[in-house]
Chains A and B, each alone.
Chain A
Amino acid sequence: MRTLKYSITKILIYTISALLIYFLKTNVFAMSCDVDTVRAIHLYSDVQQSRVAVTQANPRFVQVSFPSDLNPKPSITKDAKYSYYDVLVPFSMTASYFTVVNGNGTYYAGNTELNSIQAHLKVNGGDFFGVNENGILRFRLRDSKTINSIVFYVPIFLFTNSSYITASEVDIISILDSWGQVQFYTCDDNSNIENKLDETNDKLQETQDYLEDDDTSGANSSASGFFNNFSNTDHGGLSGIVSAPMRLINALSSSSCSPLTFPLPFVNEQVTLPCMSPIYSQNFGTFLTLYRLITTGLIGYWVCIKLYGKVRAIKKPEDDRIEVLEL
Protein backbone atom coordinates (compact mmCIF):
# COMPACT_ATOMS: atom_id res chain seq x y z
CA MET A 1 0.00 0.00 0.00
CA ARG A 2 2.78 2.39 0.86
CA THR A 3 4.43 1.65 -2.48
CA LEU A 4 1.20 2.40 -4.28
CA LYS A 5 0.89 5.74 -2.47
CA TYR A 6 4.46 6.55 -3.39
CA SER A 7 3.86 5.66 -7.04
CA ILE A 8 0.70 7.75 -7.26
CA THR A 9 2.46 10.69 -5.65
CA LYS A 10 5.39 10.35 -8.03
CA ILE A 11 3.11 10.22 -11.07
CA LEU A 12 1.27 13.31 -9.84
CA ILE A 13 4.52 15.18 -9.32
CA TYR A 14 5.79 14.21 -12.79
CA THR A 15 2.51 15.25 -14.40
CA ILE A 16 2.43 18.60 -12.66
CA SER A 17 6.09 19.21 -13.50
CA ALA A 18 5.52 18.38 -17.15
CA LEU A 19 2.54 20.71 -17.32
CA LEU A 20 4.54 23.45 -15.61
CA ILE A 21 7.47 23.06 -18.00
CA TYR A 22 5.12 23.09 -20.99
CA PHE A 23 3.47 26.24 -19.71
CA LEU A 24 6.79 27.97 -19.16
CA LYS A 25 8.06 26.92 -22.57
CA THR A 26 5.00 28.04 -24.43
CA ASN A 27 4.20 31.17 -22.49
CA VAL A 28 7.27 32.58 -20.80
CA PHE A 29 10.54 31.35 -22.19
CA ALA A 30 9.59 30.78 -25.79
CA MET A 31 12.08 32.52 -28.08
CA SER A 32 10.82 31.34 -31.45
CA CYS A 33 9.04 33.67 -33.82
CA ASP A 34 5.65 32.72 -35.11
CA VAL A 35 3.42 34.34 -37.64
CA ASP A 36 0.81 36.10 -35.61
CA THR A 37 -1.51 37.49 -38.22
CA VAL A 38 -1.67 37.49 -41.96
CA ARG A 39 -3.87 40.24 -43.22
CA ALA A 40 -4.79 41.06 -46.73
CA ILE A 41 -5.13 44.77 -47.12
CA HIS A 42 -6.10 46.95 -49.97
CA LEU A 43 -3.54 49.57 -50.86
CA TYR A 44 -5.04 52.58 -52.47
CA SER A 45 -3.98 55.90 -53.72
CA ASP A 46 -5.13 59.08 -52.06
CA VAL A 47 -3.61 61.35 -54.69
CA GLN A 48 -5.94 60.82 -57.56
CA GLN A 49 -6.44 63.76 -59.89
CA SER A 50 -3.53 65.70 -58.46
CA ARG A 51 -0.80 67.41 -60.40
CA VAL A 52 2.84 66.98 -59.55
CA ALA A 53 6.06 68.04 -61.22
CA VAL A 54 8.51 65.34 -62.05
CA THR A 55 12.09 65.64 -63.11
CA GLN A 56 14.64 63.04 -63.82
CA ALA A 57 16.89 64.22 -61.05
CA ASN A 58 14.09 64.61 -58.58
CA PRO A 59 11.36 62.08 -59.08
CA ARG A 60 8.28 62.80 -57.07
CA PHE A 61 7.09 60.44 -54.48
CA VAL A 62 3.42 59.87 -54.31
CA GLN A 63 2.03 58.94 -50.98
CA VAL A 64 -0.09 55.85 -50.70
CA SER A 65 -1.52 55.04 -47.34
CA PHE A 66 -3.17 52.19 -45.63
CA PRO A 67 -6.75 52.71 -44.59
CA SER A 68 -6.79 54.78 -41.45
CA ASP A 69 -8.73 52.19 -39.46
CA LEU A 70 -6.19 49.42 -40.03
CA ASN A 71 -3.80 50.43 -37.25
CA PRO A 72 -1.59 47.35 -37.53
CA LYS A 73 -0.04 45.87 -34.45
CA PRO A 74 3.69 45.21 -34.13
CA SER A 75 4.79 42.84 -36.83
CA ILE A 76 8.25 42.02 -35.76
CA THR A 77 10.86 39.35 -36.25
CA LYS A 78 14.03 39.63 -34.32
CA ASP A 79 17.31 39.54 -36.16
CA ALA A 80 19.48 37.40 -33.93
CA LYS A 81 22.75 38.79 -35.25
CA TYR A 82 22.12 42.52 -35.09
CA SER A 83 19.25 42.64 -32.60
CA TYR A 84 16.99 44.28 -35.12
CA TYR A 85 13.30 43.81 -35.38
CA ASP A 86 12.14 43.28 -38.94
CA VAL A 87 8.74 44.11 -40.32
CA LEU A 88 8.12 42.36 -43.58
CA VAL A 89 5.56 43.68 -46.03
CA PRO A 90 5.25 41.71 -49.24
CA PHE A 91 3.57 43.79 -51.91
CA SER A 92 2.51 43.68 -55.47
CA MET A 93 1.13 46.33 -57.76
CA THR A 94 -1.12 45.60 -60.61
CA ALA A 95 -2.07 48.82 -62.34
CA SER A 96 -1.31 52.47 -62.56
CA TYR A 97 -2.28 55.18 -64.94
CA PHE A 98 -1.20 58.72 -65.47
CA THR A 99 -1.20 61.50 -68.07
CA VAL A 100 1.64 63.88 -68.76
CA VAL A 101 0.72 67.47 -69.53
CA ASN A 102 2.89 70.26 -70.89
CA GLY A 103 2.08 73.67 -72.25
CA ASN A 104 0.67 72.22 -75.44
CA GLY A 105 -1.62 69.85 -73.74
CA THR A 106 -1.51 66.20 -73.12
CA TYR A 107 1.10 64.46 -75.10
CA TYR A 108 1.43 61.20 -73.34
CA ALA A 109 -0.93 58.99 -71.48
CA GLY A 110 -0.61 55.44 -70.48
CA ASN A 111 0.57 53.02 -67.93
CA THR A 112 3.90 53.17 -66.28
CA GLU A 113 6.08 50.56 -64.80
CA LEU A 114 6.20 50.76 -61.07
CA ASN A 115 8.93 48.49 -59.92
CA SER A 116 10.11 50.46 -57.00
CA ILE A 117 8.45 51.44 -53.84
CA GLN A 118 9.62 53.10 -50.71
CA ALA A 119 7.82 52.86 -47.47
CA HIS A 120 7.67 55.14 -44.52
CA LEU A 121 6.87 53.53 -41.21
CA LYS A 122 5.34 55.60 -38.45
CA VAL A 123 6.00 54.16 -35.02
CA ASN A 124 6.04 55.45 -31.51
CA GLY A 125 9.19 57.38 -30.94
CA GLY A 126 10.32 57.94 -34.49
CA ASP A 127 9.98 57.29 -38.18
CA PHE A 128 11.76 54.68 -40.20
CA PHE A 129 12.21 54.24 -43.88
CA GLY A 130 12.00 50.83 -45.33
CA VAL A 131 13.94 49.22 -48.13
CA ASN A 132 12.61 47.33 -51.06
CA GLU A 133 13.95 43.84 -51.51
CA ASN A 134 12.39 41.78 -54.24
CA GLY A 135 8.86 42.80 -53.56
CA ILE A 136 9.21 42.79 -49.81
CA LEU A 137 9.36 45.90 -47.74
CA ARG A 138 11.65 45.48 -44.80
CA PHE A 139 11.61 47.78 -41.85
CA ARG A 140 14.18 47.58 -39.15
CA LEU A 141 13.53 48.77 -35.65
CA ARG A 142 15.80 48.82 -32.68
CA ASP A 143 13.07 48.14 -30.19
CA SER A 144 9.71 46.50 -30.15
CA LYS A 145 7.22 49.29 -30.68
CA THR A 146 3.66 49.82 -31.63
CA ILE A 147 3.28 50.62 -35.30
CA ASN A 148 0.87 53.43 -35.88
CA SER A 149 0.80 53.41 -39.65
CA ILE A 150 2.74 52.47 -42.71
CA VAL A 151 2.89 54.95 -45.57
CA PHE A 152 4.13 54.01 -49.02
CA TYR A 153 5.85 56.46 -51.28
CA VAL A 154 5.78 55.51 -54.90
CA PRO A 155 8.50 57.16 -56.95
CA ILE A 156 7.33 58.30 -60.36
CA PHE A 157 9.88 57.81 -63.09
CA LEU A 158 8.56 58.73 -66.48
CA PHE A 159 10.16 57.58 -69.63
CA THR A 160 9.29 57.52 -73.26
CA ASN A 161 11.31 55.68 -75.79
CA SER A 162 13.61 54.45 -73.05
CA SER A 163 14.60 57.96 -71.96
CA TYR A 164 13.45 59.96 -69.03
CA ILE A 165 11.44 63.09 -69.48
CA THR A 166 13.50 65.92 -68.17
CA ALA A 167 10.73 68.13 -66.94
CA SER A 168 7.07 67.71 -66.92
CA GLU A 169 3.92 67.92 -64.97
CA VAL A 170 1.97 64.82 -64.38
CA ASP A 171 -1.69 64.52 -63.76
CA ILE A 172 -1.89 61.42 -61.71
CA ILE A 173 -5.18 59.79 -62.27
CA SER A 174 -4.49 56.62 -60.48
CA ILE A 175 -1.12 55.61 -59.26
CA LEU A 176 -1.79 52.20 -58.08
CA ASP A 177 -4.59 49.97 -57.23
CA SER A 178 -3.22 46.82 -55.79
CA TRP A 179 -3.53 44.27 -53.13
CA GLY A 180 -0.82 43.78 -50.61
CA GLN A 181 -0.36 41.29 -47.88
CA VAL A 182 1.16 42.20 -44.60
CA GLN A 183 2.61 39.46 -42.49
CA PHE A 184 2.76 40.30 -38.87
CA TYR A 185 5.34 38.47 -36.86
CA THR A 186 5.66 38.31 -33.14
CA CYS A 187 8.60 37.11 -31.15
CA ASP A 188 8.48 35.93 -27.59
CA ASP A 189 11.50 37.92 -26.73
CA ASN A 190 12.44 39.66 -23.52
CA SER A 191 9.88 42.38 -24.03
CA ASN A 192 7.10 39.81 -24.19
CA ILE A 193 8.35 38.20 -21.00
CA GLU A 194 8.36 41.62 -19.38
CA ASN A 195 4.81 42.15 -20.56
CA LYS A 196 3.74 38.83 -19.08
CA LEU A 197 5.43 39.72 -15.81
CA ASP A 198 3.65 43.06 -15.84
CA GLU A 199 0.33 41.30 -16.42
CA THR A 200 1.06 38.93 -13.54
CA ASN A 201 1.99 41.82 -11.30
CA ASP A 202 -1.21 43.61 -12.25
CA LYS A 203 -3.27 40.55 -11.35
CA LEU A 204 -1.45 40.22 -8.04
CA GLN A 205 -2.11 43.87 -7.36
CA GLU A 206 -5.82 43.35 -8.13
CA THR A 207 -5.91 40.47 -5.65
CA GLN A 208 -4.11 42.59 -3.07
CA ASP A 209 -6.54 45.45 -3.59
CA TYR A 210 -9.45 43.03 -3.25
CA LEU A 211 -8.09 41.65 0.01
CA GLU A 212 -7.42 45.09 1.42
CA ASP A 213 -10.81 46.45 0.43
CA ASP A 214 -12.56 47.24 3.71
CA ASP A 215 -15.90 48.03 2.11
CA THR A 216 -18.21 45.40 3.61
CA SER A 217 -21.49 47.05 2.69
CA GLY A 218 -22.60 44.12 0.56
CA ALA A 219 -21.30 41.40 2.85
CA ASN A 220 -24.52 40.85 4.78
CA SER A 221 -26.65 40.28 1.72
CA SER A 222 -24.01 38.07 0.13
CA ALA A 223 -23.58 35.92 3.22
CA SER A 224 -27.28 35.45 3.82
CA GLY A 225 -28.05 34.95 0.16
CA PHE A 226 -25.64 32.03 -0.04
CA PHE A 227 -27.96 29.90 2.06
CA ASN A 228 -31.24 30.96 0.50
CA ASN A 229 -31.96 27.50 -0.84
CA PHE A 230 -31.77 25.80 2.52
CA SER A 231 -34.90 25.57 4.62
CA ASN A 232 -35.12 24.84 8.32
CA THR A 233 -38.88 24.84 8.64
CA ASP A 234 -39.36 21.09 8.82
CA HIS A 235 -38.26 19.65 12.14
CA GLY A 236 -40.61 16.73 12.55
CA GLY A 237 -39.81 13.48 14.27
CA LEU A 238 -36.35 12.30 15.13
CA SER A 239 -34.55 14.89 13.03
CA GLY A 240 -36.23 17.64 15.06
CA ILE A 241 -34.78 16.26 18.27
CA VAL A 242 -31.33 15.81 16.77
CA SER A 243 -31.29 19.33 15.48
CA ALA A 244 -32.89 20.86 18.58
CA PRO A 245 -29.65 22.26 20.04
CA MET A 246 -28.82 23.90 16.77
CA ARG A 247 -32.29 25.36 16.49
CA LEU A 248 -31.85 26.73 20.00
CA ILE A 249 -28.54 28.38 19.09
CA ASN A 250 -30.00 29.62 15.84
CA ALA A 251 -32.94 31.15 17.67
CA LEU A 252 -30.59 32.64 20.27
CA SER A 253 -28.59 34.42 17.60
CA SER A 254 -31.69 35.99 16.10
CA SER A 255 -33.84 36.42 19.19
CA SER A 256 -35.34 39.73 20.17
CA CYS A 257 -37.48 40.49 23.13
CA SER A 258 -41.21 40.88 22.82
CA PRO A 259 -43.61 41.38 25.76
CA LEU A 260 -44.78 38.06 27.14
CA THR A 261 -48.52 37.53 27.22
CA PHE A 262 -50.18 34.50 28.77
CA PRO A 263 -53.50 33.70 30.47
CA LEU A 264 -53.45 33.64 34.25
CA PRO A 265 -54.96 30.42 35.58
CA PHE A 266 -58.04 30.49 37.74
CA VAL A 267 -58.52 34.24 37.21
CA ASN A 268 -59.09 34.03 33.48
CA GLU A 269 -57.21 37.22 32.63
CA GLN A 270 -54.36 37.98 30.27
CA VAL A 271 -51.08 38.92 31.86
CA THR A 272 -48.46 40.89 29.91
CA LEU A 273 -44.88 40.95 31.13
CA PRO A 274 -42.84 43.79 29.59
CA CYS A 275 -39.24 43.41 28.43
CA MET A 276 -36.95 43.82 31.39
CA SER A 277 -33.93 45.59 29.85
CA PRO A 278 -35.46 49.08 29.89
CA ILE A 279 -36.58 48.53 33.49
CA TYR A 280 -33.11 47.37 34.52
CA SER A 281 -31.48 50.33 32.81
CA GLN A 282 -33.88 52.76 34.43
CA ASN A 283 -33.63 51.47 37.98
CA PHE A 284 -30.22 49.77 38.22
CA GLY A 285 -28.04 51.65 35.74
CA THR A 286 -24.65 51.42 37.47
CA PHE A 287 -25.29 48.04 38.97
CA LEU A 288 -26.44 46.70 35.60
CA THR A 289 -23.25 47.92 33.93
CA LEU A 290 -21.15 46.27 36.62
CA TYR A 291 -23.18 43.08 36.39
CA ARG A 292 -22.81 42.93 32.62
CA LEU A 293 -19.09 43.59 32.85
CA ILE A 294 -18.52 40.78 35.32
CA THR A 295 -20.76 38.25 33.54
CA THR A 296 -19.21 39.04 30.17
CA GLY A 297 -15.73 38.54 31.61
CA LEU A 298 -16.65 35.25 33.25
CA ILE A 299 -18.41 33.96 30.13
CA GLY A 300 -15.49 35.06 27.97
CA TYR A 301 -13.04 33.25 30.21
CA TRP A 302 -15.21 30.15 30.19
CA VAL A 303 -15.52 30.24 26.39
CA CYS A 304 -11.77 30.62 25.93
CA ILE A 305 -11.02 27.68 28.22
CA LYS A 306 -13.62 25.52 26.55
CA LEU A 307 -12.51 26.45 23.05
CA TYR A 308 -8.92 25.63 23.93
CA GLY A 309 -10.04 22.24 25.18
CA LYS A 310 -12.11 21.62 22.08
CA VAL A 311 -9.28 22.47 19.73
CA ARG A 312 -6.96 20.15 21.62
CA ALA A 313 -9.59 17.42 21.47
CA ILE A 314 -10.01 17.86 17.73
CA LYS A 315 -6.28 17.47 17.24
CA LYS A 316 -6.40 14.04 18.86
CA PRO A 317 -6.80 11.46 16.12
CA GLU A 318 -8.65 9.02 18.36
CA ASP A 319 -11.32 11.57 19.29
CA ASP A 320 -14.31 10.83 17.07
CA ARG A 321 -17.02 12.58 19.02
CA ILE A 322 -19.56 14.58 17.07
CA GLU A 323 -21.44 16.81 19.44
CA VAL A 324 -24.22 17.45 16.96
CA LEU A 325 -25.18 13.78 17.03
CA GLU A 326 -24.90 13.38 20.79
CA LEU A 327 -28.40 13.36 22.22
Chain B
Amino acid sequence: MINKLLMGIMNLIISLVNVLLSPIDTLIANALPSVSDALNAFNSLIDYLINFLGYVVDASGLSSTAISLVIMYYGFVLVVPLAVSTIKLAITWYDKLKP
Protein backbone atom coordinates (compact mmCIF):
# COMPACT_ATOMS: atom_id res chain seq x y z
CA MET B 1 0.00 0.00 0.00
CA ILE B 2 2.83 2.40 0.88
CA ASN B 3 4.39 1.66 -2.48
CA LYS B 4 1.15 2.52 -4.27
CA LEU B 5 0.75 5.65 -2.21
CA LEU B 6 4.29 6.75 -2.95
CA MET B 7 3.76 6.18 -6.67
CA GLY B 8 0.57 8.15 -6.52
CA ILE B 9 2.27 11.09 -4.81
CA MET B 10 5.06 10.95 -7.39
CA ASN B 11 2.54 11.00 -10.21
CA LEU B 12 0.76 13.87 -8.56
CA ILE B 13 3.90 15.97 -8.28
CA ILE B 14 4.99 15.10 -11.82
CA SER B 15 1.59 16.19 -13.09
CA LEU B 16 1.79 19.43 -11.13
CA VAL B 17 5.25 20.13 -12.50
CA ASN B 18 3.91 19.52 -15.99
CA VAL B 19 1.07 21.94 -15.41
CA LEU B 20 3.32 24.62 -13.95
CA LEU B 21 5.92 24.39 -16.69
CA SER B 22 3.63 23.84 -19.64
CA PRO B 23 3.53 27.59 -20.58
CA ILE B 24 7.34 27.70 -20.59
CA ASP B 25 7.46 24.48 -22.58
CA THR B 26 5.04 25.96 -25.08
CA LEU B 27 7.09 29.14 -25.29
CA ILE B 28 10.30 27.20 -25.89
CA ALA B 29 8.64 24.97 -28.46
CA ASN B 30 7.37 27.98 -30.42
CA ALA B 31 10.24 30.45 -30.00
CA LEU B 32 13.22 28.12 -29.72
CA PRO B 33 12.37 24.93 -31.61
CA SER B 34 15.98 23.69 -31.58
CA VAL B 35 16.18 23.95 -27.81
CA SER B 36 12.88 22.19 -27.56
CA ASP B 37 14.19 19.37 -29.75
CA ALA B 38 17.28 19.09 -27.53
CA LEU B 39 15.16 18.91 -24.41
CA ASN B 40 12.91 16.31 -25.97
CA ALA B 41 15.94 14.29 -27.01
CA PHE B 42 17.19 14.37 -23.45
CA ASN B 43 13.82 13.21 -22.21
CA SER B 44 13.80 10.44 -24.79
CA LEU B 45 17.19 9.36 -23.52
CA ILE B 46 15.88 9.21 -19.97
CA ASP B 47 12.87 7.21 -21.09
CA TYR B 48 15.17 4.84 -22.97
CA LEU B 49 17.41 4.40 -19.93
CA ILE B 50 14.44 3.79 -17.69
CA ASN B 51 13.64 0.77 -19.84
CA PHE B 52 16.87 -0.83 -18.68
CA LEU B 53 16.43 0.12 -15.05
CA GLY B 54 14.76 -3.15 -14.10
CA TYR B 55 17.55 -5.17 -15.62
CA VAL B 56 20.27 -3.08 -13.96
CA VAL B 57 18.64 -3.39 -10.56
CA ASP B 58 18.29 -7.12 -11.02
CA ALA B 59 21.88 -7.43 -12.16
CA SER B 60 23.15 -5.49 -9.16
CA GLY B 61 21.97 -8.33 -6.95
CA LEU B 62 20.63 -5.98 -4.30
CA SER B 63 17.81 -7.24 -2.12
CA SER B 64 14.33 -5.84 -2.42
CA THR B 65 14.67 -4.38 1.07
CA ALA B 66 17.67 -2.33 0.03
CA ILE B 67 15.85 -1.10 -3.08
CA SER B 68 12.85 -0.17 -0.96
CA LEU B 69 15.09 1.77 1.43
CA VAL B 70 16.59 3.73 -1.45
CA ILE B 71 13.15 4.45 -2.89
CA MET B 72 11.90 5.52 0.51
CA TYR B 73 14.79 7.88 1.03
CA TYR B 74 14.52 9.55 -2.36
CA GLY B 75 10.76 9.66 -2.05
CA PHE B 76 11.16 11.47 1.24
CA VAL B 77 13.76 13.84 -0.16
CA LEU B 78 11.72 14.70 -3.22
CA VAL B 79 8.30 14.93 -1.61
CA VAL B 80 8.60 16.20 1.95
CA PRO B 81 10.71 19.32 1.34
CA LEU B 82 8.31 20.29 -1.45
CA ALA B 83 5.36 19.91 0.90
CA VAL B 84 7.09 21.88 3.64
CA SER B 85 8.07 24.58 1.18
CA THR B 86 4.53 24.75 -0.16
CA ILE B 87 3.19 25.27 3.35
CA LYS B 88 5.80 27.95 3.95
CA LEU B 89 4.84 29.60 0.68
CA ALA B 90 1.15 29.55 1.58
CA ILE B 91 1.90 31.07 4.96
CA THR B 92 4.03 33.75 3.29
CA TRP B 93 1.22 34.57 0.88
CA TYR B 94 -1.24 34.76 3.73
CA ASP B 95 1.14 37.02 5.62
CA LYS B 96 1.47 39.30 2.61
CA LEU B 97 -2.22 39.40 1.75
CA LYS B 98 -3.74 39.86 5.17
CA PRO B 99 -4.70 43.41 6.10
Contacts and interface: CB of A to CB of B under 8 A. Distances in A.
Interface of A: 4, 216, 219-220, 223-224, 226-227, 230-232, 234-260, 273, 275-277, 280, 288, 291-292, 295-296, 299-300, 303, 306-307, 310, 314, 320-325
A150 B10 CA distance: 67
**Max chain B C-beta neighbours (<10 A), residue from A219, A223, A240:** A240
B93 to A, nearest CB: 15
Interface of B: 1, 3-15, 17-18, 20-22, 24-25, 28-29, 36, 39-40, 42-43, 46-47, 50, 52-55, 57-59, 61-63, 65-67, 69-82, 84-85, 88, 99
B53 to A, nearest CB: 5
B34 to A, nearest CB: 13
Contacts of A236: 25, 39-40, 43
B46 A244 contact: yes
Contacts of A250: 7, 10-11, 14
Contacts of B70: 252, 299, 303
A311 to B, nearest CB: 9
A299 B43 contact: no
Given A275-B55, A291-B61, A296-B63, 7 more contacts: A227-B12, A236-B25, A241-B42, A241-B43, A250-B14, A252-B57, A254-B7
A245 B14 CA distance: 10
Interface of B, secondary structure class, is helix
Given A247-B14, A252-B67, A276 B58 contact: yes
B46 A240 contact: yes
Contacts of A234: 18
B6 A295 contact: no
B51 to A, nearest CB: 9
A324 B9 CA distance: 13
A275 B36 CA distance: 36
B66 A235 contact: no
B61 A324 contact: no
Contact of B21 (A237, A244, A303): A237
Contacts of A288: 61
B6 A253 contact: yes
**Max chain B C-beta neighbours (<10 A), residue from A231, A236, A260, A288:** A236
Contacts of A273: 55
A236 B25 CA distance: 8
B70 to A, nearest CB: 6
